[in-house]
Homo-oligomer: A and B are copies of this chain.
Amino acid sequence: MNISMDQLKDLREKTGAGIVDCKKALEESKGDMEEAVKILRTKGLATAAKKSGRTAKEGLIGSYIHHNGKIGVMVEIRCESDFVAKTPQFLELAKDLSMQIAAMAPRFVKVEDVPAEVIEQEKLIYREQLKDEKKPAPVIEKIVEGKVNKFFEDSVLMEQVFVKDNTRKVKDLLGATVAALAENIQIHRFIRYQVGEE
A residues near B, CB below 8 A? 38, 41-44, 49-53, 55-63, 65-66, 69-72, 74, 76, 78, 85, 91, 94, 105, 107, 122, 125, 128-129, 151, 154-155, 189, 191, 193-198
The CA of A57 and the CA of B194, in the complex, are separated in Å by 10
User: Which residues of chain B are near A41, meaning CB under 8 Å?
Assistant: 125
One of B50, B71, B72, B197 near A55 (C-beta < 8 A): B197
Which residue of A57, A154, A198 has the most chain B CB atoms within 10 A of its CB atom? A198
Each complex incorporates copies of this chain amounting to 2
User: Is the CB–CB distance between A57 and B195 below 8 Å?
Assistant: yes
CB distance from A128 to the nearest CB of B (A): 5
CB distance from A171 to the nearest CB of B (A): 20
**Closest chain B residue to A61 by CB distance?**
B72
Q: Taking A58-B196, A59-B70 as given, write out 8 further A-B residue pairs in contact, using a Cβ cutoff of 8 Å, ordered by the A residue number.
A: A49-B154, A53-B194, A60-B195, A61-B71, A63-B74, A74-B191, A78-B195, A191-B193
User: Which residues of chain B are near A193, meaning CB under 8 Å?
Assistant: 61, 74, 76, 189, 191
User: Is the CB–CB distance between A191 and B194 below 8 Å?
Assistant: no
Q: A61-B71, A65-B61 are in contact. Are A194 and B107 (CB under 8 A)?
A: no
**Closest chain B residue to A105 by CB distance?**
B50
User: Which residues of chain B are near A195, meaning CB under 8 Å?
Assistant: 57-61, 76, 78, 85
CB distance from A56 to the nearest CB of B (A): 7
The CA of A191 and the CA of B75, in the complex, are separated in Å by 11
User: Which residues of chain B are near A62, meaning CB under 8 Å?
Assistant: 72
The CA of A155 and the CA of B58, in the complex, are separated in Å by 26
A-B pairs with the 8 shortest C-beta distances? A57-B196, A61-B72, A55-B196, A60-B69, A42-B128, A59-B195, A53-B194, A72-B74
CB distance from A61 to the nearest CB of B (A): 3
CB distance from A157 to the nearest CB of B (A): 13
